[in-house]
A and B are shown apart, each in its own frame.
Chain A
Amino acid sequence: MRGIIATGTHLPHRRLDRAAVAAFFGKGGGTGTRTVASYDEDTTTMGAEAARAAVASTPDVDVAALWFATASPAYLEKTNASAIHATLRLDASVPAFDFGGAHRSGTGAMRTALVAGPTTLVVASDARDGLATSADESHGGDGAAALLIGDDTAGPVIAEFIGGASVTDEFLERWRIPGGERSRTWEERFGEVAYAPLMSQAWTAALADAGLAIEDIDGLVVAGTHRRAVIRNLRSLGIDPDRIGDDLSSTVGNTGAAHPLLVLAAAVESAVPDQTIAVMALADGVDVLLFRTTEAIASYTPARSVASQLASGAPVEYATFLSWRGMVAVEPPNRPLPNRPSAAAAHRRDDWKFGFVGSRDRGSGMVHLPPARVSEKGGAVDDMDDMPMADARGTVASFTVDRLVYSPSPPVVFAVVDFDGGGRVPLEVTDVDADEVEVGMRVEPTFRRLFTADEIHNYFWKVRPLRGADR
Chain B
Amino acid sequence: MGSHGIKDQVAIIGVGCVPFTEHWEKSLDDLIIDGAQATYASAGIGQDDVDAFWFGTSQSAASGLAMGGPLKIHGKPISRVENYCATGSEAMRQAAYAVASGAYDVVMALGAEKVKDGGYQGLNAFPIPTDGTQRTLTAAAMFAMILPAYAEKYDLDVDEIRYAVAKIAEKNHHNGARNPLAQFRRETSAEQICQMAAVAGRLSVFDCAGVADGAAGVIMCRAEDAHRYCDNPLYIKALSFVAGTGAGSLDPDYDYTTLSECKWSADDAYAQAGVTDPRNEIAVAEVHDCFTPTELVLMEDLGFSDPGEAWRDVLNGDFDLDGRLPVNTDGGLKSFGHPVGASGLRMLYEIWLQLRGQAPADRTMADNGRSLGLTHNLGGYPGEMVSFVGIYGTELG
**Interface positions of A (Cβ within 8 A of B):** 334-336, 338-342, 344-346, 348-349, 352-353, 366, 368-370, 376, 397-406, 412, 414, 416, 418, 422-428, 439, 450, 458-460
List 24 A-B residue pairs with CB atoms under 8 Å apart, sorted by A's residue number: A335-B120, A335-B124, A336-B120, A338-B136, A345-B131, A349-B131, A353-B132, A369-B250, A376-B251, A398-B148, A400-B201, A401-B201, A403-B198, A405-B136, A405-B137, A414-B135, A424-B252, A425-B250, A426-B137, A426-B249, A427-B135, A450-B132, A459-B132, A460-B132
Q: Which residue of B lies closest to A344 (CB)?
A: B129
Instruction: Please indicate the chain A residues that have their CB under 8 angstroms from the CB of B140 in the complex.
Output: 402, 404
Bound: A426/B198 CA distance, A = 21
A405 touches B131 (CB 8 A): no
Give the tally of cross-chain contacts (CB within 8 A). 118
**B133 at interface by CB-CB < 8 Å:** yes
Q: Which residue of A lies closest to B127 (CB)?
A: A339
**B41 at interface by CB-CB < 8 Å:** no
Contact digits for B125-154, partner A, Cβ 8 Å, 1 yes 0 no: 001011111011110111011001100100
Q: Which residue of B lies closest to A418 (CB)?
A: B252
Q: Which residue of B lies closest to A394 (CB)?
A: B252
Range for the number of chain B residues in contact with chain A: 35 or more
Instruction: Please indicate the chain B residues that have their CB under 8 angstroms from the CB of A376 in the complex.
Output: 245, 247, 250-251
Distance from B117 Cβ to chain A, minimum over Cβ atoms (Å): 13
Instruction: Please indicate the chain B residues that have their CB under 8 angstroms from the CB of A426 in the complex.
Output: 135, 137, 249
Instruction: Please indicate the chain A residues that have their CB under 8 angstroms from the CB of B256 in the complex.
Output: 397-398, 416
**B200 at interface by CB-CB < 8 Å:** yes
A345 touches B249 (CB 8 A): no
- 13 A-B pairs besides A339-B127, A414-B135, A424-B249 with CB distance below 8 A are A336-B124, A339-B129, A341-B130, A341-B131, A344-B129, A398-B255, A400-B142, A400-B200, A402-B141, A405-B138, A412-B137, A414-B141, A450-B132
Known A401-B201, A404-B199, A460-B133; judge A424-B121 contact (CB<8 A).
no
Q: Which residue of B lies closest to A341 (CB)?
A: B132
**B122 at interface by CB-CB < 8 Å:** yes
- The residue in A366, A397, A426 that gathers the most chain B C-beta atoms within 10 A of its C-beta is A426
Instruction: Please indicate the chain B residues that have their CB under 8 angstroms from the CB of A450 in the complex.
Output: 132
Bound: A406/B136 CA distance, A = 8
Instruction: Please indicate the chain B residues that have their CB under 8 angstroms from the CB of A400 in the complex.
Output: 137, 141-142, 144-145, 200-201
Instruction: Please indicate the chain A residues that have their CB under 8 angstroms from the CB of B136 in the complex.
Output: 338, 405-406
B interface majority secondary structure: loop
**Interface positions of B (Cβ within 8 A of A):** 120-122, 124, 127, 129-133, 135-138, 140-142, 144-145, 148-149, 152, 198-201, 245, 247, 249-252, 254-256
Please tell me which one of the listed residues B130, B152, B252 contacts residue A439 in the complex, with CB atoms under 8 A apart.
Answer: B152
A334 touches B120 (CB 8 A): yes
A interface majority secondary structure: mixed
Instruction: Please indicate the chain B residues that have their CB under 8 angstroms from the CB of A427 in the complex.
Output: 135
Distance from B182 Cβ to chain A, minimum over Cβ atoms (Å): 23
Bound: A339/B124 CA distance, A = 12
Bound: A460/B132 CA distance, A = 8
Bound: A428/B136 CA distance, A = 10
Please tell me which one of the listed residues A334, A344, A370, A402 contacts residue B137 in the complex, with CB atoms under 8 A apart.
Answer: A402
Q: Which residue of A lies closest to B125 (CB)?
A: A336
- The residue in A370, A398, A401, A424 that gathers the most chain B C-beta atoms within 10 A of its C-beta is A398
Bound: A344/B132 CA distance, A = 11
Bound: A339/B336 CA distance, A = 30
Bound: A352/B140 CA distance, A = 27
Bound: A398/B122 CA distance, A = 24
Instruction: Please indicate the chain B residues that have their CB under 8 angstroms from the CB of A402 in the complex.
Output: 137-138, 140-141, 144, 200
Known A424-B252, A439-B148; judge A404-B132 contact (CB<8 A).
no
Q: Which residue of B lies closest to A461 (CB)?
A: B133
A345 touches B130 (CB 8 A): yes
Bound: A465/B142 CA distance, A = 21
Distance from B60 Cβ to chain A, minimum over Cβ atoms (Å): 16
B200 touches A404 (CB 8 A): yes
B141 touches A335 (CB 8 A): no
Bound: A399/B286 CA distance, A = 29
A416 touches B145 (CB 8 A): yes
Distance from A86 Cβ to chain B, minimum over Cβ atoms (Å): 12
Instruction: Please indicate the chain B residues that have their CB under 8 angstroms from the CB of A345 in the complex.
Output: 129-132
Instruction: Please indicate the chain A residues that have their CB under 8 angstroms from the CB of B124 in the complex.
Output: 335-336
A342 touches B138 (CB 8 A): no
- The residue in B124, B132, B251 that gathers the most chain A C-beta atoms within 10 A of its C-beta is B132
B251 touches A335 (CB 8 A): no
A404 touches B122 (CB 8 A): yes
Instruction: Please indicate the chain B residues that have their CB under 8 angstroms from the CB of A348 in the complex.
Output: 131
Distance from A438 Cβ to chain B, minimum over Cβ atoms (Å): 9
B141 touches A401 (CB 8 A): yes
Bound: A465/B183 CA distance, A = 43
B250 touches A368 (CB 8 A): yes
Bound: A426/B127 CA distance, A = 20
Bound: A189/B127 CA distance, A = 56
